[in-house]
Amino acid sequence: MTQPTVVSDRATRHHEMLEKALSVNGGGRDWRGWKEAGAIDVVDLAARAPRLEIFSMDLSGDAHFTYGIRMPVPRWPEQDRLLISPAAVFDLHYQEEWRWTSPPGWLPLGLWEPKDIFHPNCRPSLRGAICLGTIQPGCRLTEIIMLGYYTLTLQDFVLNEADPHGVMNIQACEFYRNHPEYLPLTRAGLFDSWEGEPA
């Protein structure tokens, strides 16, 4: 299968998913409109970021997406050596009231895979929480996706255990202070090729 065919199939899947989600878009008119615009933005983002794959989209109540990104993901070390996975599966959940109130920094974005995430601003568990710090009211869905990517690749992080806006794993703080060679795992942006996979 040629690369253009793969891209075409992926785009088709995303647009079919979008149409199905919009057909059951629920809530008041303003909320439906916000979710529709956000979902279109997410599909457009995926079109510009080849490493991002949308797995599911639900707009019947809250805005809910699961998606994966091919990227380096830090896992729990073995014998003081950090394990790194080549992909992550995220869970994005956005409530209507967050259009005008700030959500808790750890609530909108979670992680399904890997389950043994090792990051100062992440809690390893089923749908492990990812703390994104202070999130402004009305923050766009694509901004949350971007924040999650840059946080997990350790391009953006908090290592201060006393910081109330992010630290969820004190052991990880100590590890990365002692191993700065992992900071960051990559400097590639979401739209760039990641050096860990073929361009």
Q: Are 107 and 130 in contact (CB under 8 A)?
A: no
Q: Dihedral through CA 132, CA 159, CA 181, CA 155, nearest 10?
A: 20
Q: Is residue 54 within 8 Å of 69, Cβ to Cβ?
A: no
Is-contact 48 149, C-beta < 8 A? no
Q: Is residue 188 part of a domain?
A: no
- Under the banding of pLDDT at 50, 70 and 90, the label for residue 1 is very low
pTM across the whole model: 0.92
Q: Is residue 178 part of a domain?
A: yes
| pLDDT tens readout for residues 119-141 | 999 987 767 889 998 999 999 99
| Token pair 């601003």: residue | 121
Which tokens hold the place of 166? 């992010």
Q: Is residue 197 assigned to a domain?
A: no
Total domains, the chain = 1
Task: Please report whether residue 137 resides in a domain.
Answer: yes
The boundaries of the domain holding residue 46 are: 3-182
Lowest average pLDDT, out of 46-55, 104-113, 156-165, 182-191, goes to 156-165
Query: Mean pLDDT over residues 53-64, rounded?
Result: 98
Give the model's confidence band at 199: pLDDT under 50 very low, under 70 low, under 90 confident, else very high: very low
Query: Per the domain annotation, does 161 fall within a domain?
Result: yes
Query: What is the reported pLDDT for 6?
Result: 59
- DSSP letters of the chain? --HHHHHHHHHHHHHHHHHHHHHT--S-HHHHHHHHHHHHHHHHHHHH-TTEEEEEEE-SSSEEEEEEEEEEEEEEEETTEEEEEEEEEEEEEE-GGGGTSPPPTTSSEEEEE-TTB--TTB--STTEEB------TT--HHHHHHHHHHHHTTSS----TT-TTT---HHHHHHHHH-GGGSSS----TTSPPTTS--
More confident call, 3 vs 152: 152
**Is the residue at 194 inside a domain?**
no
Rounded Cα–Cα distance for residues 112 and 159 (Å): 23
Asked if 124 and 169 count as a contact pair (C-beta separation under 8 A), the reply is yes
Would you say residue 198 lies in a domain?
no
- Residue 25: inside a domain, yes or no? yes
**Distance of alpha carbon 72 from alpha carbon 192, whole angstroms:** 13
Q: Could you tell me if 66 and 112 are in contact, meaning their C-beta atoms sit under 8 angstroms apart?
A: yes
